[in-house]
Structure 1
Amino acid sequence: MAGGSRLRAWGKALGVLIVVVAVLTACAGPYQYYEGTGLHDATTAEVAGGWENVEGTRVVLRKDGTALLENLDGQDFDFEDGWRLSGTGTWQLTDDDGGGQAVRLTLTTRTRVEKRSSAPVADPSAPEPPSTYSWSFYMDRDPHDGPVLFFMYGDPDIGNMYVMTRKTGS
């Protein structure tokens, strides 16, 4: 019967290991460990210009590295706070060897804060919207090979994407 006890002990150990792995990966949503698109061929000149999304956000990335932002929502869990920032800042195109290119956008001077119309009622204990803020937009290409900027927002298990496309006429 020693062999049966040993087999049961191995079975229990394997069961515990499976439970531990399941618990550790339960929060690993579709983008929690997102490593980028692998895009490495975008140029600064190609990224400079006007960008917008369906929620009325507008961003202008100037060739000199400065930026204008209008109603840009927070990234990741900050999106759930419902604030939208406007102002001026800076931007740069970066390249992570493995993950690909990203646009790093920093709001340096906030000129306005608005509340997103679809945002939940504000929690009185919620922190004040930030006076400065930084976003990291992943770079990708649309079906016509044009550039697209996006970041993830909200709960990582849902995988929501905030997509910015080239502003018409830019």
Structure 2
Amino acid sequence: MVLVVLTSGCGALFYPTLPTVRDASTSELAGDWTGPDGAKVILEGDGRAEVRNLGGEDWDFDEGWGLTGTGTWQLVKGGSGQTIGGAPAVQVSITNVTGQIQRPPRDIDEWTTEPFAPIAQYTWEFGMERTNEGLQPYYLAGDPDAPNLYHLERSDRPTLAPR
């Protein structure tokens, strides 16, 4: 007997398995982070957030824009994005956009050079991974079926609590 399964569109079976951290704390995430192309993400301990020239997630990244602005962040039990889907995530919501850039195209990307319409607000969901360097948030850019994974690198030195 032969069983044939037909699928259409982008289904959960096509998404890559991503690193997951289930025990992250807000104190572990608070601080200054650097993203692709020198972008900055600042997560304050009180839930305030700031981003500087950070590009969008998934397909939005291919549009080639970057945002600067302020808003809030929180840990969520289950992300809502197609690729983070259900895993714990860091949700950063920028509600006060103070600047927007259009990045130039690069050989390794398929970014457009067309100006992108102004964006009033945006929400990212960062997955998390533990590496030798410690906790690292990441986000996915490009086609959700074959995404590029971009880690945020800590650019400040967290203060370790005594044990």
Contact 2:35–2:54 at 8 Å: present in 1 too? no
The Cα of 1:94 is off from its aligned counterpart by: 1.7
Report matched runs for 1:12-91 at 5 Å.
18=4, 21=6, 23-24=7-8, 29-31=14-16, 37-91=19-73
Q: Is the 8 A contact 2:140 2:147 kept in 1?
A: yes
**DSSP-derived class of the 1:96 partner:** coil
Q: Which contiguous aligned blocks of 4+ residues in structure 1 show a shift greater than 4 angstroms?
A: 25-28
Are the equivalent residues in 2 in contact too, given 1:73–1:84 (CA < 8 A)? yes
Q: Offset of 1:120 from its aligned partner? A: 2.3
Partner of 1:120: 112
Gaps of at least 5 residues in structure 1 are: 1-9
**3-state secondary structure, aligned to 2:8:** helix
Structure holding more helix per residue? 1
**8 Å Cα contact 2:49/2:71 also seen in 1:** yes
Deviation string for 1:12-40 (max 9, x for gaps)? xx6xx74x62x537765434xx5x53422
Measured against aligned partners, the alpha-carbon deviations of 1:62-88 in whole angstroms (never above 9, x if no partner) come to 011001110110111111111100011
User: Aligned-pair distance for 1:52?
Assistant: 0.6
- From the CA coordinates, give the structure whose radius of gyration is larger: 1
Distance 1:43 1:26 in 2: 32
1:142 to 2:131 alignment: yes
User: How many residues of Structure 1 are paired with residues of Structure 2 in the alignment?
Assistant: 147
State the AA in 1 paired with 2:8.
L
Query: What SS is found at the alignment partner of 1:77?
Result: helix
The separation in 2 between residues aligned to 1:24 and 1:89, in whole angstroms, is 37
1:92 aligned to 54, 68, 74, which one? 74
The RMSD of aligned alpha carbons is 2.7
Separation in 2, partners of 1:103, 1:148: 11
Alpha-carbon offset, residue 54 of structure 1: 4.0
SS at match of 1:151: strand
Check the 8 A contact 1:94/1:101 in 2, yes or no: yes
Q: Does residue 110 of the first structure (1) align with residue 97 of the second (2)?
A: yes
Residues 121, 38 of structure 1: alpha-carbon distance in 2 compared, 3 angstrom cutoff: closer
Identity %: 35
Which runs of 5 or more residues in structure 2 are unaligned? 80-84, 106-110, 159-163
Alpha-carbon distance in structure 2 between the residues aligned to 1:54 and 1:45: 23
